Amino acid sequence: MAEFLQLVFSGLTVGAVYALVALGFTLIYNASDVINFAQGDFVMIGGMGTVFLAAAGIALPLAALIAIVGAVLVGLLLHRLAIEPARGASPVALIMITIGASIFIKGVAQIVFDKQFHSLPAFSGDAPIAVGGATILPQSLWVLGVALALFVALFLFLEKTLLGKALLATAANRLAARLVGVNVTIILALAFGVSAAIGAIAGVVVTPITLTRYDVGTLFALKGFAAAMVGGMGNPLGAVVGGLLIGLLEAFGAGYISSTYKDAVAFVVILLVLFFMPRGLFGGRSVERV
Residues that bind other proteins (CB under 8 A): 162, 165-166, 168-169, 172-173, 175-183, 285, 290
Least distance in angstroms from the C-beta of 290 to other proteins: 8
**For other proteins, the closer CB: 56 or 180:** 180
What is the nearest approach in angstroms of other proteins to the Cβ of residue 168?
6
Nearer to other proteins, 89 or 169 (CB): 169
End-to-end Cα spacing for the chain? 51
Q: Report in angstroms how near the CB of residue 32 gets to other proteins at its nearest.
A: 16
Q: How far is the CB of 119 from other proteins (least distance, A)?
A: 42
**Taking the complex as a whole, how short is the minimal distance between the CB of residue 58 and other proteins, in angstroms?**
40
DSSP per-residue letters across 88-110: T--HHHHHHHHHHHHHHHHHHHH
For other proteins, give the closer residue by CB, 79 or 174.
174
By the 8 A CB rule, do 168 and 51 touch? no
User: Where does residue 272 rank: exposed (0-12), middle (13-18), buried (19+ CB within 10 A)?
Assistant: exposed
113-141: b (≥16 Cβ within 10 Å) or e: beeeebebebbeeeeeeeeeebebbebbe
Consecutive H or E run containing 134: strand 134-136
The residue (of 110 and 173) whose beta carbon lies closer to other proteins is: 173
Cα atoms in the 13 Å half-sphere on the side-chain side of 177: 22
Residues in the chain: 290
CB of 110 to other proteins, least distance (A): 40
For 136, the 3-state DSSP assignment is: strand
Q: Which is nearer to other proteins, 30 or 207 (CB)?
A: 30
Gap between the Cα atoms of 200 and 69, Å rounded: 9
Nearer to other proteins, 185 or 218 (CB): 185
